Amino acid sequence: MKASVPLSLLLLLFVALCPISGYTQAINNRELLLDMMSGVANYLATTQDEHGAIIDPFLNKEHQYSTPYFAAGVACLVDEDHGYGCPA
C-alpha cells in the first residue's frame, strides 16, 4: 500500500515539529541546519527525473512545490559552500 502523504508535507511537518522532537538545536545552529539540508537535498537528488523535476517517491509524480523547494535548498547550500555534491 502506498502512502498518501506527499514528501513535501512530511518535510514541512518535520520542520514544524523540530522543537517537540528534540531538534531545537538545529534551529539555532547554522552548521547543523545546513548538514540536515544537505542530507535532504542529496536524497531528493536521487528522485529527479530526466528533466530535473523531483518525483515524490510515494506519489510517483512531481507534487506541489518539491522541485522549487529542492532548487532553493541546493542554491542555499551552494551559496554557503556547504558541500552539496551535484550528481553526475
- Summarize pLDDT for 1-18 with one digit per residue, the tens: 344 545 565 566 566 655
Kindly indicate the confidence band of residue 20, based on its pLDDT and cuts at 50, 70 and 90. low
Report d(CA 23, CA 77) in Å as an integer.
20
Residue 49 predicted with pLDDT over 60: yes
Domain ranges of the chain: 7-79
Residue 55 corresponds to which cell in the numbers above?
518525483
**Between residues 81 and 27, the one the model is more confident about:** 81
Average pLDDT of the residues of the chain:
74
Report how far residue 13's alpha carbon sits from residue 43's, in angstroms, rounded to the nearest whole number.
18
